[in-house]
Each structure stands twice: as C-alpha cells, then as structure tokens.
Amino acid sequence: MPKQSDIDRVFHALGDPTRRAMVETLGSGPASVSALAKPLGISLAAVVQHLQVLEESGLVTTEKVGRVRSCRLEPKGFRVAEQWIADRKSLIERKFDRLEALLSEEPTPPSGDEP
C-alpha cells in the first residue's frame, strides 16, 4: 500500500500542466532533457527542475549515459494515482448502487412491505 507521502508527491507532480505535458511526450518513448524542453519552449534548467519532481514522485526514471540524460515513464507512480482514484470511485458507485436500490422500488423487493 502506498504511503500518504507517496500520494502527495504523485498528485503534486501531476498538478502542473508543464509536467503533464512532459509525461505525455514521454508516452511516445524515452527522451533526453533537451528533447523534452523543445516542445515546451522553456529553458533547460526549468525542465531539469520539473524532472526532479517527476522522479521523486516515481512517475519517471532517468539515467545518464555520457552527457545525455535519458528519461522514461515509470509505471509505479501511475499505479499510485490510479489506485487512489479507483478507491474514491468505488465509494461513489457503491452509494449509487444503494440509491438505485432505494429508488427502483422493485415489484419484488427483498422484504415486501407494500399493502
């Protein structure tokens, strides 16, 4: 089970549109820092800062070979976010089910109480 601080880090990381754009770029395969920077129109330094956040959140891993750092998506962080959302959704739907059961007043309810 992921710790609270893991959840905090992942959602904080995904909260920024620039970082999400980087994640989307990485969706089509590993990329270097400058390749990530190009479509964003911001400085390399800014990208590096975002990468640090993404790495600490477990959404991205990087590996430096020679003078280029290669970045790729990491499933771990995504599972954390996915799980949290799935948990909330299941709660909503459980309520919905109960509501439906109440509203639909079936002709043959579990325990008939109509006249």
Partner DNA sequence: TTGATTGTCAAGCCGACGCTTAAGTGATGG
Partner DNA sequence: CCATCACTTAAGCGTCGGCTTGACAATCAA
Spell out the residues 6+ positions from residue 59 whose beta carbon is closer than 8 angstroms to its own: 10, 13, 14, 23, 73, 74, 76, 77, 78
Out of DNA, a second copy, none, which partner does residue 87 contact, by CB within 5 to 8 A per kind?
a second copy
Candidates 69, 74, 78, 84: give the one binding DNA (CB under 7 A). 69
Nearer to a second copy, 28 or 108 (CB): 28
CB-CB contact of 80 with 6 (8 Å)? yes
Q: How far is the CB of 85 from a second copy (least distance, A)?
A: 5
Q: How far is the CB of 35 from DNA (least distance, A)?
A: 7
CB-CB contact of 44 with 33 (8 Å)? yes
Out of a second copy, DNA, none, which partner does residue 99 contact, by CB within 5 to 8 A per kind?
none
Work out whether 7 is an interface residue with DNA (CB under 7 A).
Answer: no
* Distance separating alpha carbons of residues 19 and 38, to the nearest angstrom: 14
Candidates 6, 50, 57, 59: give the one binding DNA (CB under 7 A). 50
Count other Cβ atoms within 10 Å, centred on residue 14. 18
* Distance separating alpha carbons of residues 113 and 57, to the nearest angstrom: 54
> Which residues make up the interface to DNA (CB under 7 A)?
12, 15-16, 18-19, 32-35, 41-46, 48-51, 53, 64-69
